[in-house]
A and B are shown apart, each in its own frame.
Chain A
Amino acid sequence: MRPEMTAASLDTAARTSAERGALARARLLRGLLPALSLALVLLAIAWLNPRAISYFGFSLMLNLAIPIALATIAQMFVIAGNELDLSIGTFVGFVGCVTATWLKDAPLIGAVILLGSIGVYALLGALIHLRNLPSIVVTLGMSFVWQGLAILVLPKPGGKAPDWLLGLMAFKPPFIPFPIIAALLIGLIVHFGLMRTSYGVILRGSGGNPAALGRAGWSLLKTKIVLFALAGLFGVLSGMALIGITTSADANIGNGYTLLAIAGVILGGGEFVGGRVSPIGAVIGALTLALAASPLLTFMHIPPDWQVAANGAILIIVLAARVLISRKER
C-alpha cells in the first residue's frame, strides 16, 4: 500500500511542477502584455508613418504622456485599495488652475493650497473607511467640488505657468526624449515604493485581503489614508506637469483624465479588486493611451472623429488578449 501511495504522490508532484511551469509562463506573458501592446501600437505607428519614430516625433507624440502617467499612478493607488476615484480628472484641472495663478503669483500660498488639497484627499480616505462609504459616490461628489473650485480660481481660461516649471518641462536631454525618461523614472520610483518595500506590501494587502490584514494588527484606516494621500500627491504632480506643458490653464483642462487614468491602470495589468496593480504597467498603459490619442494620429488617415474610438478599441483588444492568456493560467 505504502510504496504505491508514495509513487502516486510523486506522480502528482511531478505533474504539478510541470503545471507550475506552464503557470509561470502564462504569468510572465501576462506581465509582458502591457509592454507588448505598447510595442504593437509603436509598430503600427512606424508602419503608417516611419518618420514619427524619431526624437522629434516621440517628443511630439508623447507630449502629454507625463501628466497622463502621473494621473494614472494616482488612480492606481486608489485602485490598489479596492476603491475608485472618479474625481481625479477634475482634481488635475483644479491643481492646474492653482498652478497657473497662485503658484506663479504667490508661490507660498500656492504651495499651501496644493498641500492642503493632498490633505483633503487623505481626509476622504479616512471618511470612506470610517463611514464605510462607496468611494464611487464620494469621489463623484468631489468631482463637482474640484470643478467648482477650479472655476472659482480661474473663471476664464488663462493664467500662466511659473517659469521654473516651464523650464523643467521644456527640458531636452540628448538622444532620449524627456517624456520617455520621465515616464521611466516615475514607473521605477513607484515600483520600488509599492512593490519592494514592506509597507508597500501592506498597502497592496489592504486591497488584497483587508480582513486578514486587519486581524494581523495593521490599521486599515491608516493604509486607506496613505493610499488616498499618495493619489492626491500624484494628482498634484500631474496637474503641475500638465500646466508646465500647456503653459496656461482652463477649469476643464483635466476632465478627460478620469477615464484615461482608469483605462491606463487596467491596460497596465491592474485589476479592480484584490490589490493587484503594477506601477510600471500603469505607466506603460498611460504611454499607450497617450500615443493612441496623440495628435499625430491625424496624419495617419485616422480622422479625429475616431480617435476616441481608437482608445476604446485598444482597451478591448488588450483585454481580449488577456482573457486568452488567463485561460492558460487556469
Chain B
Amino acid sequence: MKKNLIFGLTIITGVLMFNTSCEDMIETPPPNEILVDDAIKSEDDLQQLLNGSYHEMANTFGGFYQTLAELMSDNVALPNNNDYREVYNHNVLFFNSTSGAFYSQLYRGIFRANFVETHIDDATDLTEESRVRILGEVSFIRALGHFTAVRMYAQPYGYTTDNSHDGIAVTTTVGTTPQKRESVKVAYDAIITDLENAINKLPEENNGYATSWAAKALMAQVAFQMGDYSTAGDMANEVINSGLFTLADTVNVFDASASSEHIYSIISYGVNDQRSGSYTGNFAAAVPVIQMDKALYASFTNVDNDKRLQMLEVVNKGAQNEFIKTTQFNTPYFNIPVLHLTMMHLIRAESYAKQGIDLSVATQDLNDIRTRAYITPNLLPSAATASQILDAVRAERKIELLFQGDRIHEVKRLGAIEGENLFIRGHEWNCKGMLLQFPITEKTEIFNINPTGGCD
C-alpha cells in the first residue's frame, strides 16, 4: 500500500513541480497594450502621457464646454436637442448623457495629469528642468479642470458667505477610492495652490502647451470669479505687460490672424487633427443647433456700427422660421483660445475700476477694445469715472466674449459677489437648477449630487 501511495504521489508531485516552475502559464497580459511598468521609462514617455492629458482638455475646450455654458446663459435660443434642452431649461437630469460626457471628459483630463505626476519618477533620464516643467503643466491642467468643474457643477463662489456650500471632488491622486464632495472653498483653495505652483514652475515659452503666462491668465480669471479684484487686476496686468501678446486687428478671436492674442489655446493641427469640431458642429451648420436668442439680438441697438455683431447672420429674416446664427466658426478648423488678451484687458479694466485704482489704464483697456470693435468707436473720456468704466466694460464683455462660455459665470459673479438680482429666462442666478447635474454614478454616501427638479 505504501509503495502505491508513494508511486502515485511521486507522479503527482512531478507534475506539480513541472507546473510551479512554469508560473508563466497563467500570466497572459493583454497583447495590444503595454503594461504600465514597461510603458513609462523615459522623459519622452512622460511627455506623451502628458500629451494625452492635453488631448482630453482639448476635447473639453474645443467647443464642448463653451456650448454647455452658453446653453445655460441668456445668449442662445431653445435648441432642438433633448439633452441641450435640459441644460437650457435649467433642469438637467442625472441621466443627461451630454452633461455626463462633459463631466467625464474633464475628469479624465485631470486623471491623466495626476497619472503623469504619480509616475514622474519612473523616467530615468528626466532632467530637473523637465521635471519642474512637467509638474507645472500637471498643476495647470488640474487647475483648469477643477475650475471648470466647480463653475459648471456647483453654485458660484460667494453663494454662501464662507463658501461652505457643496463644490466638487478635488482629485489630485490616482486611485479608485471615491472622493467626497468638497466645499467650494476647498475647491478654490486647491485651484489656487495648483496655479501658484504652475506659475512658479512653468516656462514662459512652451511650444503650444501651458506657460507661466497661461497660469497667470487663468489665475486672473479665477480671482476675478472670486471677487478678488486685487489679484485679478495684478495678474491680468502682468500678462498684458509681458509684451508677448498683442491685440489682433480682427474682432474674431477664433480667426487664424488673432493668434497673437492667444495666451493658451487648443491647437488644431490640420484638417485631420482638428479640435474645433464641437464649435463647428453646434454653431456652424446651415441650421445650427445653437442659435442666438432673438430677444438679445433685438436688444442690440448698434448692430451696424459693431463689427462683432456683424458676425451674426439673420437667416430667413421676417419669416416664421427666422433664426440668428454666428458666422464666427465657419472655417473648417481653427485654434480655440481658452485664455486670451482681450479677456485680460476686460479683467484688468473691471478689477481696477472696482478697486478705484489706475483708472486711466482701465479706460485705455476699454478704448483699445472699442477702437477695434466699432466702425465709429464711442471712446470713454480720459477722465472716466470708475462707475462709467464698469458700465462700459460689462457691456463690452457681453459682446466680446459672446459664445465663449463666459456669460453664465458673469451673471453668477454679479449675483454672488456684486449682489445684483439677475435672472436668466425667469430663473434667478442662484436657483437650484442653474448648474449642470452630475452623472448619477457620482452619488455615494460621501457625495451628494445637486438637487433635482430644476428652477421654479
A binds B: no
Give chain A's interface residues, CB within 8 Å of chain B. none
Give chain B's interface residues, CB within 8 Å of chain A. none
